[in-house]
């Protein structure tokens, strides 16, 4: 049986309901926590599979590189996006360095602390 996600507008909780395709839309749904019938169907997130080429094309915007030399936060944000777009597991040092950039620490300060 399929699972359907709902949100109770009374108690503000999410819950799931198991029902057959033929029951959906005909069977009344009540909150599993408070029993309220004031519920709304939640649509699940949709995942889109993208090729390596299309992920890298998303990063190929020259205007995104403007001002990176003077703004460590922007550099950190861009590096975080690149890490996500690559879709590979990056070492913990990458997250540490990006976090420091996002906090406003300059690349030069980070490099000095690595010595």
pLDDT at 102 over 80: yes
Give residue-wise pLDDT tens across range 47-78. 777 777 776 676 666 666 677 778 888 888 88
Q: What is the CATH number of domain 3-42?
A: 2.20.28
Task: Give residue 13's pLDDT band: very low, low, confident or very high (50, 70, 90).
Answer: very high
State how far the Cα of 43 lies from the Cα of 30, in Å rounded to an integer.
Answer: 17
What's the start-to-end Cα distance of the chain, in Å?
Answer: 58
Quick one: which of 2, 19, 3, 14 has its CA closest to 39? 14
Quick one: which of 45, 46, 47, 34 has its CA closest to 14? 34
pTM of the shown model: 0.45
14 Cα distance to chain centroid = 19
58 within 8 A of 85, measured Cβ to Cβ: yes
Domain locations along the chain: 3-42, 52-107
């Amino acid at each position: 049986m399929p699972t359907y996600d709902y949100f109770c507008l009374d108690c503000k909780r999410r819950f799931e309901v198991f029902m057959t395709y033929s029951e959906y839309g005909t069977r009344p749904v009540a909150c599993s926590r408070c029993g309220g019938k004031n519920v709304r169907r939640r649509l699940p997130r949709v995942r889109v599979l993208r090729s390596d080429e299309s992920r890298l094309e998303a990063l190929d915007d020259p205007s995104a590189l403007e001002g990176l030399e003077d703004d460590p936060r922007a550099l950190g944000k861009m590096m975080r996006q690149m890490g996500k777009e690559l879709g590979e597991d990056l070492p913990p040092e990458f997250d540490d360095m990006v976090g420091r950039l996002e906090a406003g620490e300059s690349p030069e300060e980070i490099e000095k602390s690595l010595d």
